[in-house]
Structure 1
Amino acid sequence: MTRMRRAAGAEADAAAALAESLAVLLDAGLSPRSTWEVVATDGVHPLAERVVSALRQQPSCAAALVRSVDSDDLRMIAVVWRVAERTGAPLGHTLRAAAEILRDAAETEREAEVALSGPRATARLVSWLPVVGALMAVALGADLLGAVGSVAGATAVAVGGALLLAGRWWMSTLVKHATVRAPHAGLAEELIAVGLAGGASADAAREIARGAIAESGLAPLDERQASRVLRLASAAGAPVNELLTAAARQQRRVAHADGRRRATTLGVRLMLPLGVCVLPSFLSLAVAPLVLSLLSSTTAGLR
């Protein structure tokens, strides 16, 4: 049975809504624990109930968050909360930055899903072509079972079946690779900016961000762009937070374009398994048994 997929971007949107709700309540003057209790009561996100439950044993909201999250989107909220907690940065502003990253990720997923809908449907339809061809041959009166009884027929069916399975696996792999979601773009820059906003030095902010990432279970972040921005800000005496935020937004735009590019090129990539596996499978499973059946009936009629 085919498992139903959640709408593209739904998880990231739900996490963004949670981060925005937390930010509003924190800016209204509620304490972090009270904020989580209110969000849990209103049912904004299932994570809130788990955090409230974990707070009975954990010393801080950040620790409870790390124990309660179960997806990369929610781990990102735990990371930014941990960095803000350790540096003293404003939690409301920090969570709004996290929500912006999550909203961008959700939008990228939705656009990629739209671009992928055509190639995915093509792959699904074409993969059934050999089976449909075999059924049509039977409908035309071909004795496929008799044809398969011969050595040539059995060989054709075996080769066709293997090619069909290989083609379906190949196309499925291409679609899966095209839908792989990259790590949250710009997160390293945003975390360092949070640490700097809390009064930490650049080096300290980077160490705190790395520690928070390691605790949360997220994959290590690419800090090359952040390092370049920090060097530029140090050399020019420019406001480093603004440069980091701008670099983070640029990385999100690049990730957005990359997702669309992968989806657009998928249609071309699917031509390879179609020509190498699926069409030869159609010939082996439908055309070859039909020809063998006709030859067998013709030979029998001449006797």
Structure 2
Amino acid sequence: MRRRTARAAPSADEAASTVLRLAVLLQAGLAPARAWAVAADSGDRVAGRIHAAFQDGDALSAAIARQGGAWTSVGAAWTIATTVGAPLADSLRSIAAALRDAQETSDDIRVTLAEPAGTARLLTWLPLAAIALGAALGFDTFATLVTEPLGLACLAAGGLLLVVAHRWTSALVRKAQPEPGIPGLAAELFAIALSGGASIERARSLVAAAGAPDADSSIDEVLLLSQSAGVPAVELLKATAALARHRARVDGRVRAARLSSRLLLPLGACTLPAFLLLGVAPMLLGVMSTMSFSL
């Protein structure tokens, strides 16, 4: 009986480590099923699940892809390589390098985004901190906000601005996040298919059947260049994949840099006005109320 349990998909870096070990085992002469068994015996939990599924009667490619996350790409590479007879160890090394580059790109972008995103989240609490500051200075700002008509208006407007600032900031941060998937994956899979002797049309159909993204214009340009110049397309495709990952990293850094300036928009349009409405205005209303009472 197959056991299916809810679990988090392994990261691309974890998948890359397992795949590299498998490539070494395969290059040493082990059969694919035996390589998975050795990897499972070494304590690799993902390899253990895949080997168990294979023993239950699943195809290795299906068992690999079912692990989810980065393993979907590994399953696609495995399927294509075994279908066309491409060198499996070399194919796994290529996909492992792609996975590791993609993980490093994602980590790099996430670290770059951490500071502006954290600062934006901190600043959203500024108007609420203003209420506590007013109380520390001796003003009953909270009572003014909930009892005075003008205070209620300030509370409603300030609360609305806080909600808008939060959603606006969250949308900007989400937009700056790296795109899902592995940049250059289609080019890597094309290279695997062609290294096994498949024609361009068959490689295109195999990549599509594996669930990879469709070939973009850069791949079509490489294939056309290869045909017109009479040179193998495999290395050109690998270079195209590496360039796609490099561009993804650069684009991520640019988006992170732009985020720092774009976060000033919700700060100036919403957060600072909310600070005035929830912090400064109640203190002024309190002073005016005290002066009117004295008169």
The alignment's TM-score, normalised by the length of structure 1, stands at 0.90
* Secondary structure in 1 matching 2:11: helix
* Equivalent position of 1:3 in the other structure: none
Aligned partners of 1:136 and 1:233: how far apart in 2? 69
CA displacement at 1:222 relative to structure 2: 4.3
Aligned length in residues: 286
Give the alignment of 1:207-246 within 5 angstroms: 207-213=205-211, 220-246=213-239
* Equivalent position of 1:13 in the other structure: 13
Q: 1:114 aligns with which of 111, 115, 123?
A: 111
* Equivalent position of 1:161 in the other structure: 159
* Equivalent position of 1:184 in the other structure: 182
* Equivalent position of 2:51 in the other structure: 52
Structure 1 residues 221 and 291, CA gap change in structure 2 (3 angstroms):
farther
* Equivalent position of 1:174 in the other structure: 172
Amino acid at match of 1:262: R
CA displacement at 1:59 relative to structure 2: 4.4
Q: Contact 1:62/1:85 (CA < 8 Å) preserved in 2?
A: no
Structure 2 unmatched runs, 5+: 1-7
* Equivalent position of 1:97 in the other structure: 94
Amino acid at match of 1:236: A
1:262 equivalent to 2:259? Answer no
Q: Contact 2:106/2:178 (CA < 8 Å) preserved in 1?
A: no
Q: 1:278 aligns with which of 266, 271, 289?
A: 271
Give the alignment of 1:33-72 within 5 angstroms: 33-44=33-44, 46-66=45-65, 68-71=66-69
Q: Contact 2:131/2:142 (CA < 8 Å) preserved in 1?
A: no
RMSD across aligned positions (CA): 1.7
CA displacement at 1:53 relative to structure 2: 2.1
Q: Contact 1:12/1:102 (CA < 8 Å) preserved in 2?
A: yes
Aligned partners of 2:219 and 2:167: how far apart in 1? 39
CA displacement at 1:60 relative to structure 2: 2.2
Aligned partners of 2:183 and 2:226: how far apart in 1? 21
CA displacement at 1:223 relative to structure 2: 2.6
1:234-260 superposed Cα distances (whole Å, 9 cap, x missing partner) = 111122112111111111111111111
Aligned partners of 2:168 and 2:243: how far apart in 1? 34
Aligned partners of 1:202 and 1:142: how far apart in 2? 76
Structure 1 unmatched runs, 5+: 1-5
* Equivalent position of 2:294 in the other structure: 301
* Equivalent position of 2:5 in the other structure: none
Aligned partners of 2:57 and 2:178: how far apart in 1? 34
The alignment's TM-score, normalised by the length of structure 2, stands at 0.92
Amino acid at match of 1:15: A
The farther-off stretch of 255-264 and 117-126 is 117-126
Q: Contact 2:109/2:178 (CA < 8 Å) preserved in 1?
A: no
Q: Contact 1:65/1:78 (CA < 8 Å) preserved in 2?
A: yes
